[in-house]
Homo-oligomer: A and B are copies of this chain.
């Protein structure tokens, strides 16, 4: 029987070491090999039913849990898919995508692990990830360079996938080019006849990866026309917004792409409080197509963003893992479509 009486407090300060398969074997009166066969349902070998029972019973009594590190050390590989945890607060879009991905990967029998790599820079981070010998690494953003990819592959990663603005040599890429978001917004504003277009760029440096290309996209969409594009820096707080609103008229803008829906809401509110009509005096368009945009008055025009489904990415990963020799795939996966509502 188990040594800890069921009825006593489970806080047993006994320094009992953690049970190994050898302990299970001992208790069941069999060899470690047999324990392994039984617990892994190894089909290549047939174990008698009584023995199986004894092993299972022993494992249960000891509370045996296999040691993943030992197992994958022996096996020479794992099924861990590693993903650095994003260090900026992410919105519902990313959360949903990530959940889907996780679900799809677990269906394919991979284990998804988000690795917190605060404070690690570029190749140093790649090395830290490589220490875990993941079978695949999914890297959002643009932190990974060619050397990082090489480190990961050398250490056994069979698939390295970047989710970001650009391709990295040797890695599969899900290219999420936010230029397209800006371009859609810009084209929309141009088509609706606006000529002096502002583009909000968040002050938060962590958002630069998105804000820069979105800004550039607007510029691209309006280049070759008589429209002007003005960068408008804005921190995500009320004070900053109202200060901006106070000098808004002096900017002489007839439309603004507000980076995303949240910044759009912030700015809209400040403009309205300043007596600036939307879209009459200034048109506003956001991005991300959040629920809140539909709730604003006027209803917020926005750029809806299509991310790849988690299932798609999971399949890419699986394909890459099974065929590591195959040349890296690169897919443009960010779709942007304008949802025209009332604010533009």
* Residues 151-182 (chain A) with a chain B CB within 8 angstroms: 151, 154-156, 169-170
* Residues 49-94 (chain A) with a chain B CB within 8 angstroms: 63, 65-70, 72-73, 78, 85, 87, 89-90, 92
In the bound complex, CA of A65 to CA of B150 (Å): 12
In-complex Cβ contact of A69 among B11, B66, B69, B96 (8 A) = B69
- CB-CB contacts of A325-338 with B at 8 A, as 1s and 0s? 10110000000000
* Residues 286-315 (chain A) with a chain B CB within 8 angstroms: 291-292, 294-295, 297
Whether B154 contacts A63 by the Cβ 8 Å rule is yes
Q: Which residue of B lies closest to A269 (CB)?
A: B295
In the bound complex, CA of A294 to CA of B262 (Å): 12
A252 CB–B CB distance under 8 Å: no
Whether A118 contacts B99 by the Cβ 8 Å rule is yes
Q: Which residue of B lies closest to A62 (CB)?
A: B154
Q: Give, as a whole number of angstroms, the nearest-CB distance from A109 to chain B.
A: 12
A18 CB–B CB distance under 8 Å: yes
In the bound complex, CA of A96 to CA of B206 (Å): 14
User: Which residues on the B side are within 8 Å of A169 (C-beta)?
Assistant: 9-11
User: Which residues on the B side are within 8 Å of A170 (C-beta)?
Assistant: 10-11
Whether B295 contacts A238 by the Cβ 8 Å rule is yes
Whether B111 contacts A113 by the Cβ 8 Å rule is no
- Central interface residue in A65, A68, A170, A262, by most chain B CB within 10 Å: A65
A131-B65 contact given A90-B95, A113-B113, A113-B114, CB 8 Å threshold: yes
By size class, the interface of chain A is 35 or more
- CB-CB contacts of A316-332 with B at 8 A, as 1s and 0s? 00000000010110000
Q: Which residue of B lies closest to A152 (CB)?
A: B65
A68-B131 contact given A11-B170, A111-B116, A236-B291, CB 8 Å threshold: yes
A119 CB–B CB distance under 8 Å: yes
In-complex Cβ contact of A10 among B132, B150, B291, B294 (8 A) = B150
User: Which residues on the B side are within 8 Å of A18 (C-beta)?
Assistant: 133, 154-156
In the bound complex, CA of A37 to CA of B325 (Å): 36
In the bound complex, CA of A68 to CA of B87 (Å): 23
User: Which residues on the B side are within 8 Å of A291 (C-beta)?
Assistant: 236-238, 262, 266
Given A10-B149, A69-B133, output 15 extra A-B contacts at Cβ < 8 Å: A10-B150, A10-B170, A63-B155, A65-B131, A65-B154, A65-B155, A66-B131, A68-B132, A69-B69, A73-B73, A87-B99, A105-B116, A114-B115, A262-B291, A266-B295
CB<8 Å pairs between A and B, sample of 12? A9-B169, A10-B169, A11-B170, A63-B154, A63-B155, A89-B99, A102-B116, A106-B118, A112-B115, A236-B291, A238-B294, A262-B291
